[in-house]
Amino acid sequence: SQTIHQWPATLVQPVGSPLSLECTVEGTSNPNLYWYRQAAGRGLQLLFYSVGIGQISSEVPQNLSASRPQDRQFILSSKKLLLSDSGFYLCAWRSLGQGRDEQYFGPGTRLTVT
């Protein structure tokens, strides 16, 4: 079966500090991967999308970047965090085949920028 991991689970960082959030998927190969952000009390905003190693699509211009150094690894980064970067960050992978076509989400990382 497939599982998706995210770490850290929670993070408190000062404004101006760098950021690195990691997402890994097990049990599947060449998955489509996504990064979403959920601000407090709001819906989900798609940040980045990747169909393969080194292939990143950015949805919203912002202070963040993403990389996919390995097939099942997706990293969200920032060189200098802003207060507005606070939120709940969710990684997801897209399950395809055998009549399935839906996204499954990881446990999330709660980021507080102080």
Partner 1 sequence: AQKVTQAQTEISVVEKEDVTLDCVYETRDTTYYLFWYKQPPSGELVFLIRRNSFDEQNEISGRYSWNFQKSTSSFNFTITASQVVDSAVYFCALRASSDYKLSFGAGTTVTVRA
Residues forming contacts to partner 1 in the complex (CB under 8 A) are 32, 42-44, 46, 49, 51, 59, 88, 90, 92, 94, 100-108, 110
- In the bound state with partner 1, the residue whose beta carbon lies nearer, of 1 and 14, is 1
**Minimum distance of partner 1 from residue 3's CB (angstroms):** 12
* Alpha-carbon span 44 to 39, nearest angstrom: 8
The single residue listed with the structure tokens 């905003």 is 45
> Least CB distance from residue 26 to partner 1, whole Å?
16
Closer residue to partner 1, CB minimum distance, 24 or 106 = 106
Cβ of residue 94: shortest distance to partner 1, in angstroms?
Answer: 7
What angle (nearest 5°) sits at the alpha carbon of residue 7, between those of residues 14 and 10?
Answer: 45
Residues 112, 71: Cα–Cα separation, whole Å: 29
Closer residue to partner 1 in complex, CB, 9/83: 9
Alpha-carbon gap, residue 56 to 24, rounded angstroms: 16
Closest CB to partner 1 among residues 15, 26: 26
Q: Which amino acid is at 108?
A: G
Minimum Å distance from CB 74 to partner 1? 14
Half-sphere exposure of 24 (CA within 13 A, CB side): 6
